[in-house]
Amino acid sequence: MLIGEIAALATATFWAFSSLFFTFAVKKVGVIQVNVDRLFFAALYIFSTMVVFGIKPDINLTQIFYLILSSIAGLVLGDTFLFKAFSEIGPRISLLIMTFAPPFSAIFAYFFLGEALGAFAIAGILVTTFGVALVVFEKVEGTNKFKIKNKLGFFWATLGMLGQASGLILAKYALMEHPLNAFLASFTRTFSAWLMLLPIGFITRRYQFGYKVYFKHPRSILGPTIGAILGPYLGITLSLVSINYAKVGIASTLMSITPILMLPISHFYFKEKLPWQSYVGSVIAIIGIAILFLK
């Protein structure tokens, strides 16, 4: 496999395990608190890596502009909405809704990057939609009706999915402009997102600076510290490597296997009872988004 595909698969794996830390922390100290702190630690980790390896800030203003827009779409808005969905409907359902990201990424790439959609792409979108629907909609016990599990949580997850899909397109623009080191690109996205979220947290009074907020729930500090290593530090950096070496749609497809990885985690760690629709639906969804890019 090529570098881009390998990086995408690694990204999916890291995000699956990081969701364990983020979900626990979000429930204890709040979405904004965790999002701001994890971005701070991630930026610190990435900056330290750049110093150790002597990575020079070879980046132009156009790239900075697109990376900042990408951070707004994917990290400030997309991840905040996704973390909110985590607290409302749990990581498994939230991440399964994120399987819509590859079809939307493909559509965005068609309009903004010139990646054409053929018959396989249309078929893939339909199959993916059906697969995700099997998971998102659950049968009401004792009836033949179906309902959406927590409509507000579903709404937050959808916004998160759209934010992350558009964030990839904007990041691709920056990478196409001029050769750019993945760690430098990741630091630009992460640090700019932290700078934007910090005042929002203070204004809304949903963020407290320092460790005091974690004293009541000491283990929740693992979310922004350890989770930041798996998620923003490794996940975001490798996702940029992936879209740099592979088409956005293909990279997004491979990164979407995160929900499949979440099924055993949800079963054994979160003790969730997984209906057959979860397994069948997730498999169908992955098959659908794979069809998108068959040649």
Structural contact between residues 168 and 239, judged by C-beta atoms closer than 8 angstroms: yes
Ranges of beta strands (E only) in the chain are 137-139, 146-148
Residue spans of the domains in the chain: they are 3-117+150-268
pLDDT at 146: 44
- At 134-188, the pLDDT tens digits run 776 654 444 444 455 567 888 888 898 899 889 999 999 999 888 899 999 999 9
- At 6-54, the pLDDT tens digits run 888 888 888 888 877 887 787 788 888 888 999 999 999 999 999 999 9
Which DSSP symbol is given to 78? I
pTM of the shown model? 0.81
Using DSSP's 3-state secondary structure scheme, residue 180 falls into coil
User: CA angle, corner 50, sides to 257 and 46, nearest 5?
Assistant: 45
- At 258-291, the pLDDT tens digits run 767 777 777 777 677 777 777 888 788 788 777 7
